[in-house]
Amino acid sequence: MALSIQLPDASRTSETSSSVSLELSLDGGFAVPENNAFGNGFRDYNKESERNLSVEEFYRKNHIYQTYEFAKKKREEYGKLDKAEMSLWECCELLNEFIDESDPDLDEPQIQHLLQSAEAIRRDYPDEDWFHLTALTHDLGKVLLHPSFGGEPQWCVVGDTFPLGCAFDESVVHHRFFKDNPDSNNPKYNTKLGVYSENCGLDNVTMSWGHDEYMYMVAKANNTTLPPAALFVIRFHSFYAMHRSGAYQYLMNEEDEKMLKWLHIFNTKYDLYTKSKVLIDVEKVKPYYLSLIEKYFPAKLKW
């Protein structure tokens, strides 16, 4: 299967990026495996296992405590970008200390997931270096878990994301736990549109707070020259209800629809299915990714 899409010129800023026609195939060299690292189907939240029991408990907390007001306060707090100054690669190394409790498919340190997805894209699309770096960067917001950033609990850092300020769609994983979320009983927030208008655009939507939102904010504030498609992937790669189930389309505008093509490429194959017990030699690939970081980001970023 192939997707004919417009490729943003990654050498330009988001304000001045141009487009060239390119045919990108979903049938590149990376072979999608049938099972995850535990021998189960990917994103199988019903499989009885000790891992999935912990995932379920994670989502119980996540769905109860992620409210519209909570996310607004977190965006304001972390939008100051006053936690640290460090390079993108230094952030990658910090993630060596963490395993994502919401992930039913892998229990390896996060730097391995970043490199596994980046290397698979690099193999399939060797000329799209901005896409390689997008994969390396997409989960760096999980640094919120680090004590130097306040040691946030996992329920407000990782996991699937979803809009706040409107009704919770039934396609969101473990939807039943939303019944105990205060917003579910608030008439201001529990209708289809809630505080939004039809086709207002995802830029105007408050998403559940977590690593996606944080890394998106960090990238924009530090003037990355990654193209708009990269920023869209970083911000919405955990928004499975939208890009996998087709929910919340009434909030999307025309620009969101264009960017969604890139997100489908990333999520259909690389973000989820590259998770593996076959680990990447970090030191071997490090020089290549350092060169990409130098190309698209400043030497030191404010976090």
Residue, of 43 and 239, whose pLDDT is higher: 239
Q: Any binding-site annotation on 243?
A: no
The distance of Cα 62 from the centroid of its chain, to the nearest Å, equals: 16
Check whether 20 has a pLDDT greater than 60.
Answer: no
Residue 18 lies in a domain: no
Q: Any binding-site annotation on 160?
A: yes
Check whether 21 has a pLDDT greater than 60.
Answer: no
Q: Any binding-site annotation on 244?
A: no
0.85 exceeded by pTM: no
Q: Any binding-site annotation on 271?
A: yes
Q: Any binding-site annotation on 169?
A: no
Check whether 141 has a pLDDT greater than 60.
Answer: yes
Residue 23 lies in a domain: no
Q: Any binding-site annotation on 87?
A: no
Residue 186 lies in a domain: yes
- The pLDDT tens digits of the residues spanning 31-82 come to 444 544 444 444 454 555 555 788 899 999 999 999 999 999 999 999 999 9
Residue 41 lies in a domain: no
Q: What's the pLDDT band for 98 if we cut at 50, 70, 90?
A: confident
Provide, rounded to the nearest whole percent, the portion of the chain with pLDDT above 90. Answer: 67
3-class DSSP assignment, residue 19 = strand
Q: Any binding-site annotation on 79?
A: no
Are 208 and 183 in contact, with CB atoms under 8 Å apart? no
CA–CA dist 118, 206 (Å, integer) = 28
Check whether 18 has a pLDDT greater than 60.
Answer: no
Are 1 and 269 in contact, with CB atoms under 8 Å apart? no
Q: Any binding-site annotation on 237?
A: yes
Q: What are phi and psi of 127, to 5 degrees?
A: -90, -10
Q: What's the pLDDT band for 178 if we cut at 50, 70, 90?
A: very high
Residue 280 lies in a domain: yes
Provide, rounded to the nearest whole percent, the portion of the chain with pLDDT above 70. Answer: 78
Residue 233 lies in a domain: yes
If you average pLDDT over residues 178-186, what whole number do you get? 98
The distance of Cα 216 from the centroid of its chain, to the nearest Å, equals: 9
CA–CA dist 10, 18 (Å, integer) = 9
Q: Any binding-site annotation on 238?
A: yes
Structural domains of the chain, count: 1
Q: Any binding-site annotation on 300?
A: no
DSSP assigned state of 209: P
Residue 31 lies in a domain: no
Q: Any binding-site annotation on 105?
A: no
Q: Any binding-site annotation on 63?
A: no
Return the minimum-mean-pLDDT range out of 96-100, 240-244, 260-264, 266-270. 96-100
- The pLDDT tens digits of the residues spanning 214-238 come to 999 999 999 999 999 999 999 999 9
Task: For residue 131, give its domain range.
Answer: 52-302
Q: Any binding-site annotation on 197?
A: no
Return the minimum-mean-pLDDT range out of 59-68, 97-106, 136-145, 263-272. 97-106
Q: Any binding-site annotation on 132?
A: no
